[in-house]
């Protein structure tokens, strides 16, 4: 395989392997470990002061006429080229020297300049043409790679994706973590390439290196950022080369990607939704065990969450399926965050579009605060949802916990929020009262659950389909009041005799005795399971 340099260039070693230079029988006499230097251009000349004409990165071809005859002149000639930063010096033997002077070789070694002597004459114009052709081909290949990543990012956007999906694609392309943030250092979103287990999380990288002047880092301002003054920048794309060095292709791709992201963020407050999606990804990773609990507090601080030493309260809000169009999540996120500012406790709020939910971690001072704080947070969440037309979302509060169990608490609350969608509306649900519904929800995909409902309630459901009055509400009220007939009658606005008649019909239809505790347990479970099987 031919040696490869950064995309869009060729290396000194590759240039020496091209036919035109290979015919000159090249011999490397200094800087043999530096042949991976990129060649930007080829130049031929004999002037003693040719270094002043160069910009750096050139492969310089010469017969040595400008080297001078005295060692001091020769050392000065080579030193000037090295300080200019050329890629390599190639000297053709024969016209001026039969072998390179020691002063030339020693100076090249001292200054780390690749030095090559050609033992046969070659037409320099052929070398120039051949290397320049390679450079043009490499540049064309570079543009093709940039076009490919731009095409994939565009397809993602046209397919309904957004800035997170574009950033993840760009991170895979660069092989490094990428970040979208503000010039003041506020992180909006972080994405990293798929890496081996134990690889640094992008949030860890940002926390450790955002203030460092990392060599080779790439920063691109998004166009059209707006702001109070001309040229103001609102958003900035950064790539930190912690896994692999960045090449010219990455800079070009970054500029193209920044243009796409700018279009995505043109809509008002899209930055806030993007930041919330970044926090949602962190909370999802924590819930799924992809974040080490010992490192979670530091990563949460990067995202702006600084609770005290008290316990954490996992919570989840889940709107009804289809209630929030994709283009309305930004408005929902901003409305909810504005309502939460009045709650008076630290909150880390995220958005998870794939699952259609909003997970949160709330900082408590002590466990006794759990219920009142959960109530205030739930009121704020539902008020924010109401502002954008989202009605009666499900809000679930988990158990107060420490960082070590916060992930499990978020996972349990998320599952409970899904299971609670069929339950009567409440300001908020306590996860500890939803264990049976979560268990039934887990069984929903099995035919056994639907068969259980049909076996226990089938005759009653068939009756209510065909006859009136429906008896199912009577049974539900009776069980909700723990079999207390007087309270059930008041709840249903029935006289006692009518209630007794209905309960008798229910027992005959089901072939059961509602005074039997085991029957009551079975019927109660079937009624709860019916919400999950339709």
The pLDDT of residue 227? 46
Question: What is the Cα–Cα distance from 280 to 290, expressed in whole angstroms?
Answer: 13
Residue 3 has pLDDT above 70, yes or no: no
Banded pLDDT at 149 (limits 50, 70, 90): confident
Residue 440 has pLDDT above 80, yes or no: yes
Comparing 19-33, 106-120, 237-251, 263-277, the range with the smallest average pLDDT is: 263-277
Place of tokens 């002037």: 47
Nearest alpha-carbon partner for 61 in 43, 35, 83, 78: 43
User: Which comes out higher in pLDDT, residue 425 or 361?
Assistant: 361
CA distances in angstroms from 416 to 398, 409, 411, listed in the order given: 9, 10, 9
Comparing 406-415, 421-430, 441-450, the range with the smallest average pLDDT is: 441-450
Sheet strand arrangement including 394-397: 347-349, 358-363, 312-318, 394-397, 429-430
Banded pLDDT at 500 (limits 50, 70, 90): very high
Contacts of 163 (CB under 8 A, 6+ apart): 180, 189, 261, 264, 265, 270, 274, 277
Residue 153 has pLDDT above 90, yes or no: no
The pLDDT of residue 197? 63
Banded pLDDT at 505 (limits 50, 70, 90): very high
- What's the pTM value of the predicted model, to 2 decimals? 0.63
Average pLDDT over residues 334-359: 91
- Tens of pLDDT, residue by residue over 119-131, are 999 998 888 888 8
Question: What is the Cα–Cα distance from 237 to 222, expressed in whole angstroms?
Answer: 7
User: Which comes out higher in pLDDT, residue 211 or 52?
Assistant: 52
List residues bridging with 395 in a β-sheet. 317
376 in helix, strand or coil?
A: helix
Go through the chain and tell me how many residues it has: 534
The pLDDT of residue 148? 86
Compute the mean pLDDT over every residue in the chain, rounded to the nearest whole number: 87
Banded pLDDT at 445 (limits 50, 70, 90): low
Contacts of 101 (CB under 8 A, 6+ apart): 67, 71, 74
218 in helix, strand or coil?
A: strand
Element (H, E) at 505: helix 496-510
Q: Are 81 and 112 spatial neighbours (Cβ–Cβ below 8 Å)?
A: no
The pLDDT of residue 491? 92
Q: What are phi and psi of 257, to 5 degrees?
A: -65, -40
* Residue-by-residue DSSP string for 76-138: HHHHHHHHHT-SEEEEESSSS-SS--HHHHHHHHHHT--EEEESS---HHHHHHHHHHHHHHH
The pLDDT of residue 490? 92
- Tens of pLDDT, residue by residue over 66-99, are 888 899 999 999 999 999 999 999 999 988 888 8
The gap from C-alpha 62 to its chain's centroid, in whole angstroms, comes to 52
User: Which comes out higher in pLDDT, residue 322 or 408?
Assistant: 408
Residue 266 has pLDDT above 80, yes or no: no
The pLDDT of residue 318? 94
User: Which comes out higher in pLDDT, residue 288 or 422?
Assistant: 288
Banded pLDDT at 280 (limits 50, 70, 90): very high
Q: Are 66 and 44 spatial neighbours (Cβ–Cβ below 8 Å)?
A: no
Structural domains of the chain sorted by starting position, each given as residue range(s) with its CATH number in brackets: 10-133 (3.40.1390.20), 160-266 (3.30.450), 301-440 (3.30.70.270), 447-533 (1.10.10.2840)
Element (H, E) at 359: strand 358-363
Question: What is the Cα–Cα distance from 123 to 293, expressed in whole angstroms?
Answer: 66
Within a 13 Å sphere around the CA of 445, how many CA atoms are in the beta-carbon half?
Answer: 1
Q: What are phi and psi of 241, to 5 degrees?
A: -80, 65
Banded pLDDT at 198 (limits 50, 70, 90): low
The pLDDT of residue 229? 45
Nearest alpha-carbon partner for 498 in 485, 510, 516, 508: 485
User: Which comes out higher in pLDDT, residue 76 or 133?
Assistant: 76
307 — alpha (psi -120 to 50), left (phi > 0) or beta?
beta
Banded pLDDT at 534 (limits 50, 70, 90): low
Residue 228 has pLDDT above 50, yes or no: no
């Amino acid at each position: 395989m031919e040696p490869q340099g950064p995309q869009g260039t060729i290396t000194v070693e590759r240039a020496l392997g091209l036919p035109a230079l290979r015919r000159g029988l090249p011999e490397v006499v200094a800087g043999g470990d530096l042949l991976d230097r990129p060649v930007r251009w080829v130049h031929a000349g004999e002037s003693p002061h040719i270094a002043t004409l160069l910009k750096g990165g050139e492969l310089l071809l010469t017969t040595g006429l400008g080297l001078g005859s005295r060692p001091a002149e020769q050392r000065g000639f080579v030193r000037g080229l090295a300080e200019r930063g050329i890629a390599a010096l190639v000297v053709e033997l024969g016209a001026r020297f039969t072998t390179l002077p020691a002063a030339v070789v020693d100076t090249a070694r001292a200054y780390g300049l690749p030095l090559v002597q050609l033992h046969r004459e070659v037409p320099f114009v052929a070398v120039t043409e051949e290397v320049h052709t390679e450079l043009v081909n490499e540049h064309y290949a570079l543009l093709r790679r940039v076009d490919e990543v731009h095409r994939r990012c565009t397809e993602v956007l046209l397919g309904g994706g957004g800035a997170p999906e574009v950033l993840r694609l760009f991170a895979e392309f660069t092989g490094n973590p990428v970040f979208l943030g503000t010039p003041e250092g506020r992180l909006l979103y972080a994405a990293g390439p798929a890496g081996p287990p134990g690889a640094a999380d992008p949030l860890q990288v940002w926390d450790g290196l955002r203030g460092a002047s990392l060599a080779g880092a790439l920063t691109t301002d998004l166009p059209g950022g707006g702001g109070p003054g001309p040229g103001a920048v609102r958003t900035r794309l950064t790539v930190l080369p912690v896994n692999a060095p960045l090449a010219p292709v990455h800079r070009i791709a970054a500029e193209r990607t920044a243009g796409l992201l700018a279009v995505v963020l043109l809509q008002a407050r899209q930055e806030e939704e993007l930041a919330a999606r970044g926090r949602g990804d962190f909370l999802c990773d924590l819930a799924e065990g992809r974040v080490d609990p010992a490192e979670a507090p530091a990563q949460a601080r990067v995202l702006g969450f600084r609770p005290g030493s008290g316990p954490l309260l996992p919570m989840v809000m889940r709107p009804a399926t289809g209630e929030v169009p994709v283009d309305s999540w930004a408005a929902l996120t901003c409305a909810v965050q504005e309502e939460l500012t009045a709650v008076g406790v630290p909150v880390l709020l995220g958005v998870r579009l794939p699952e259609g939910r909003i997970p949160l971690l709330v900082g408590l001072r002590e466990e006794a605060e759990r219920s009142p704080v959960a109530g205030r947070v739930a009121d704020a969440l539902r008020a924010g949802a109401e502002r954008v037309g989202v009605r009666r979302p499900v809000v679930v509060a988990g158990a107060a916990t420490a960082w070590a169990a916060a992930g499990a608490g978020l996972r349990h609350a998320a599952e409970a929020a899904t299971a609670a969608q069929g339950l009567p509306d409440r300001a908020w649900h306590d996860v500890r009262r939803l264990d049976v519904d979560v268990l039934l929800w887990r069984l929903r995909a099995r035919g056994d659950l639907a068969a259980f409902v049909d076996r226990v309630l089938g005759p009653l459901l068939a009756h209510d389909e065909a006859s009136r009055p429906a008896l199912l509400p009577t049974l539900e009220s009776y069980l909700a009041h723990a079999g207390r007939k007087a309270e059930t009658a008041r709840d249903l606005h029935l006289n006692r005799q009518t209630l007794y008649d209905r309960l008798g019909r229910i027992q005959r239809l089901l072939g059961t005795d509602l005074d039997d505790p085991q029957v009551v347990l079975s019927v109660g479970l079937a009624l709860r399971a019916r919400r999950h099987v339709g």
